[in-house]
A and B are shown apart, each in its own frame.
Chain A
């Protein structure tokens, strides 16, 4: 039973991430090329998945069945200070739920994500 649920969850997750893959693209500066760009894309993809696990539930919105990842303001993306700036974060994303390294990846993703507007 447990296994079926896990598999189902994994499939759903894979489908969601596949569905999202083409919708969100990054917005890297044109100067960023070659290996650096590749590395960033990798980090960015990891950050995207981590965003999906940790943040999407509260922050994403739906518009005509389309999932929208909001554009965060630079002052919202403050690294570790994120944990206390938003009172809800203290309970929803403590240190034993999202590691500081992961938080960094999430912020990287959000900074370079193609803006909605």
Chain B
């Protein structure tokens, strides 16, 4: 009897041990593959470093050899790009950074000073080899930094994420977003001829990761539907032209990348995937398309009313906001409203003048009034990124002596002197239990909530890429140019076509060399981002705006120097200010000509016009609330200037 028990328990013990070890081998196979790829990547970089040390970098043939070796290292990096880009974004900048120095304020860092983040690695090394004077030490440093950063990816703190399935769907989400936004645009591939071949290799290596993942994590597999569609995507790319300028980006995204994204999103919900990364800070798990306006949270349009979801209450906030938006009571002289410069029917900008008038009505202001439509999809607000919430921006413009010039203490007193405002705001107080009385924030939040409702519309392009409509061949070819030869998409990223790139946690700034006027004699004197964050890289840098509705939001650039889309495209085609012979030492745009043909420019404009959103504009309020202060009752809807 005793022996029988012992035998039985022994059997059980063996069984349990074997099942544990069986399980371990499965997940460790996955980690093993990661480690193997990492050691290959390391070895290719070591080989490269050795080569550079002994190379004669003034010899053109040697430089060519170096480039080939870099390509080799790039391929080994690309084979694990899927993981490393997501798992350790800061280390990734050192192996494949797009710029030597980037100043960053990501959404979760917005209360901190901008960070100076250095970039190094393979893309920068290739670009460096093309420079006129190259120094071996600099080249060595670029690769050495990359090699050091490679070790970070081997740290337990990074690899521990590989033990569960959660990381996989989050890595995959970022991967799919980048397939749509940067992998096909040459954003980080200086050699245009290598874009499509590198993409093919990337797609194939990720396919291997998918297969391995499904074997190792049977609890949360990729669906058959996903894998089939992914195979079709590879077949599609295989028959595409190897010239990136002829690649059909539109079909690639519409028929493959976006549907794959939808399935991945659904699996994220189904498997209750949990993120532990700040990189996922603003991405929305419920979005079912890359081209859905709720893909990521940019700004909190509700402000102080953040937790209000009741449609009746939101309607009340909106109506109060509408009255305030058109009411010059918010200005120091009661003659200027928000609508004075952000003219609602002109897509919330002013299309008639370069820059709005100063409060004193004498001189013009330095900068163009940006459209408020889609402002909500920026992380930093204003052309210099001075503000990080819409409400700060609203309050600052009201108080700014050169814009609306209203004293902080006066705003509230004047608004509350109107019985209707007082009643409305008092009623809204119930939704903000943290505030005992009506504050300036209530006013600002009503305004931002009101105008942000115009950012929810879609364009014919969105409908076409979401398979809910169609656009013509010319628009499609314009989009394909936008994504390739015209190099627009390397700064105006899919899907908002603004400066927010996956994972959509920061706003980018660019130095374009915008002239003071169309004679191109001198640069605009506006220092831009430098005023907020002085550094040599930020001088004359401006936040990248959205292309959406651009056909309706002239004039263009921070100073409104261009009045037509043709002028803007010609400016980029010529290589920005530097391309036109201006001295711009820190231009982030290539000064080489894009060599766009007349037809190509027309196609680009056709595409831009397909981004016209179907916005329904409203008529202004018939009258404004009456104030107890009689003098205030002479003010008129919209203001006078």
The answer to whether B434 touches A100 (Cβ under 8 A) is: no
- Separation of A17 and B389 alpha carbons in the complex (Å): 29
Within the complex, the shortest CB–CB distance from A84 to chain B, in Å, comes to: 5
Q: Is B282 an interface residue (CB 8 A)?
A: yes
The answer to whether A84 touches B276 (Cβ under 8 A) is: yes
- Separation of A99 and B433 alpha carbons in the complex (Å): 15
The answer to whether A95 touches B282 (Cβ under 8 A) is: yes
Across the interface, which residues of B come within 8 angstroms of A85, CB to CB? 276
Across the interface, which residues of A come within 8 angstroms of B134, CB to CB? none
The answer to whether A97 touches B307 (Cβ under 8 A) is: yes
The answer to whether A96 touches B430 (Cβ under 8 A) is: no
Across the interface, which residues of B come within 8 angstroms of A56, CB to CB? none
Across the interface, which residues of A come within 8 angstroms of B148, CB to CB? none
Within the complex, the shortest CB–CB distance from B24 to chain A, in Å, comes to: 23
**A84 and chain B: residue at smallest CB distance:** B276
- Separation of A105 and B585 alpha carbons in the complex (Å): 43
Across the interface, which residues of B come within 8 angstroms of A105, CB to CB? 434
Across the interface, which residues of B come within 8 angstroms of A99, CB to CB? 300, 306
The answer to whether A13 touches B433 (Cβ under 8 A) is: yes
Interface string of B271-282 (1 = CB under 8 A from A): 000111110111
Across the interface, which residues of B come within 8 angstroms of A97, CB to CB? 306-307
Within the complex, the shortest CB–CB distance from A53 to chain B, in Å, comes to: 7
- Separation of A96 and B280 alpha carbons in the complex (Å): 14
The residue that A102 contacts in the complex, of B107, B109, B280, B306, with Cβ under 8 A, is: B306
Range for the number of chain A residues in contact with chain B: 20 to 34
Within the complex, the shortest CB–CB distance from A100 to chain B, in Å, comes to: 7
Range for the number of chain B residues in contact with chain A: 20 to 34
Interface string of B414-434 (1 = CB under 8 A from A): 000000000000000010011
- Separation of A49 and B429 alpha carbons in the complex (Å): 14
Interface string of A78-114 (1 = CB under 8 A from B): 0111011101001000111111111011000000000
Q: Is B592 an interface residue (CB 8 A)?
A: no
Q: Is B5 an interface residue (CB 8 A)?
A: no
**B312 and chain A: residue at smallest CB distance:** A2
The answer to whether B307 touches A6 (Cβ under 8 A) is: no
The answer to whether A84 touches B278 (Cβ under 8 A) is: yes
**A14 and chain B: residue at smallest CB distance:** B433
Q: Is B110 an interface residue (CB 8 A)?
A: yes
Q: Which A12-53 residues sit within 8 Å CB-CB of chain B?
A: 13, 46, 49-50, 53
The answer to whether B300 touches A6 (Cβ under 8 A) is: no
Interface string of A37-77 (1 = CB under 8 A from B): 00000000010011001000000000000000000000000
The answer to whether B433 touches A49 (Cβ under 8 A) is: yes
Q: Is A8 an interface residue (CB 8 A)?
A: no
Q: Is B108 an interface residue (CB 8 A)?
A: yes
The answer to whether A46 touches B277 (Cβ under 8 A) is: no
**B313 and chain A: residue at smallest CB distance:** A6
Instruction: Count CB-based A-B contacts (< 8 Å).
Output: 55
- Separation of A105 and B394 alpha carbons in the complex (Å): 22
**A83 and chain B: residue at smallest CB distance:** B281
Q: Is B297 an interface residue (CB 8 A)?
A: yes
Q: Is B435 an interface residue (CB 8 A)?
A: yes
Q: Is B616 an interface residue (CB 8 A)?
A: no
The residue that B434 contacts in the complex, of A50, A79, A90, with Cβ under 8 A, is: A50
With A46-B434, A95-B297, A104-B111 as known contacts, state yes or no: A80 contacts B278, CB within 8 Å: yes
The answer to whether A87 touches B430 (Cβ under 8 A) is: no
Interface string of B384-414 (1 = CB under 8 A from A): 0000010000000000000000000000000
- Separation of A100 and B274 alpha carbons in the complex (Å): 20
Within the complex, the shortest CB–CB distance from A51 to chain B, in Å, comes to: 10
Within the complex, the shortest CB–CB distance from A105 to chain B, in Å, comes to: 8
The answer to whether B281 touches A10 (Cβ under 8 A) is: no
The answer to whether B275 touches A90 (Cβ under 8 A) is: yes
Interface string of B247-277 (1 = CB under 8 A from A): 0000000000000000000000000001111
Within the complex, the shortest CB–CB distance from B244 to chain A, in Å, comes to: 36
The residue that A100 contacts in the complex, of B110, B277, B278, B435, with Cβ under 8 A, is: B110
The answer to whether A96 touches B274 (Cβ under 8 A) is: no
The residue that A84 contacts in the complex, of B275, B300, B306, B307, with Cβ under 8 A, is: B275
- Separation of A13 and B436 alpha carbons in the complex (Å): 13
Within the complex, the shortest CB–CB distance from A65 to chain B, in Å, comes to: 23
The answer to whether B108 touches A80 (Cβ under 8 A) is: yes
The answer to whether A46 touches B435 (Cβ under 8 A) is: yes
Across the interface, which residues of B come within 8 angstroms of A79, CB to CB? 111
The answer to whether B300 touches A95 (Cβ under 8 A) is: yes
The residue that B111 contacts in the complex, of A6, A90, A95, A100, with Cβ under 8 A, is: A100
Across the interface, which residues of A come within 8 angstroms of B297, CB to CB? 94-96
Across the interface, which residues of A come within 8 angstroms of B389, CB to CB? 101
Across the interface, which residues of A come within 8 angstroms of B430, CB to CB? 6, 10
Across the interface, which residues of A come within 8 angstroms of B108, CB to CB? 80-81, 83, 100
Binding site for A on B (CB under 8 A): 107-111, 274-278, 280-282, 297, 300, 306-307, 389, 430, 433-435
20 further interface pairs, Cβ-Cβ under 8 Å (given A49-B433, A95-B281): A6-B430, A46-B434, A46-B435, A49-B434, A53-B433, A53-B434, A79-B111, A81-B278, A83-B281, A84-B275, A84-B276, A84-B277, A84-B278, A87-B276, A99-B300, A99-B306, A101-B389, A102-B434, A104-B111, A105-B434
